[in-house]
Amino acid sequence: MPQTSEAPETPAGEATLLLTRPEAQSQEFLALCEALAGRLLPCVVSPVLEIVDLGEVPDLTLFRTVIVTSGNAVRRLGRALAGRAVVTVGERTAALARDQGADARCLGPDVDAFLENIDGVDGPAVHARGAHTRGDLAGRAAAKGLTVEEAVVYDQVARPLSRAAKALLQGKSPVVMPLFSPRSAGLLSATPIGAPLFVIAISQATRVAWTGPGRVTVAETPTAEALCRAVTEAL
């Protein structure tokens, strides 16, 4: 279902999905949810973060391994990943890197699991990341003996909710809102909300960052697939 410019009209009591990721990722997630649900879902897409390229893509030939922890980093590096050894957080990120020609493998669904599995990763490594990050991957990897240089290749710029999203959150019909990061949870927490709200956080850290109202739960695992299952069950 395409992005709506107005809050969709839904029968009383039927929930609407509110997606606040960047546009492309929101549409991908919506398609995943609709495929799992087997139907079109009432949805408003209103990104609260815009991905903006920063600086130059680093010379990846200077490093034996490239670390990427988000699909945004993969999209920014693009074909520069071709033929490179890449380790990722998340299977979907690894799949995106392989689409760019990388020899990519996932070391875990989150940073903690990733760091538990870095033995055998060849250094020096470069972590291509966004301007806002959590988990101190480079510092914790260094403590395990892996030299990691950081390259900030994109920013996540905050954007206000659309009028449709604000109207949805201040309405009377239920809203299901998945949260994909602590930063987006923090940005959205101050939003005035009158609608019955069901928040589904991708991780416990994201759950902690949400200080707004509503019923809140955490996906079984920190993956888009687990979040999608929780969303379709809620809808």
What domains, with CATH codes, occur in the chain? 16-48+159-234 (3.40.50.10090), 51-156 (3.40.50.10090)
Q: Report the alpha-carbon distance of residue 87 to residue 66 in Å, rounded.
A: 6
CA distances from 214 to 13, 42, 48, 217, 229 (A): 16, 20, 19, 10, 19
Structure tokens at 139: 């510092």
Strands (DSSP E) found in 30-181? 43-45, 49-53, 65-68, 85-89, 103-108, 125-130, 148-158, 175-179
Of the candidates 51, 46, 83, 57, the residue with the CA atom closest to the CA atom of residue 70: 51
For residues 138 and 160, the answer to whether their CB atoms sit within 8 Å is no
This prediction's pTM:
0.82
| Res 185 pLDDT > 90 | yes
Pairing of β 65-68 and β 125-130:
parallel
Strands (DSSP E) found in 24-124? 43-45, 49-53, 65-68, 85-89, 103-108
| Res 9 pLDDT > 70 | no
The rounded percent of the chain whose pLDDT value lies above 90 is: 83
The string of pLDDT tens digits covering residues 67-116 is 999 999 999 999 999 999 999 999 999 999 999 999 999 999 889 999 99
Q: Report the alpha-carbon distance of residue 149 to residue 130 in Å, rounded.
A: 14
Pairing of β 215-218 and β 197-201:
parallel
| Res 2 pLDDT > 70 | no
Q: What is the H or E stretch that residue 183 is in?
A: helix 182-189
CA distances from 225 to 29, 36, 109, 110, 176 (A): 9, 10, 11, 14, 16
**Ramachandran angles phi, psi of 209, nearest 5°:** -70, -20
Of the candidates 46, 27, 22, the residue with the CA atom closest to the CA atom of residue 154: 22
| Res 159 pLDDT > 70 | yes
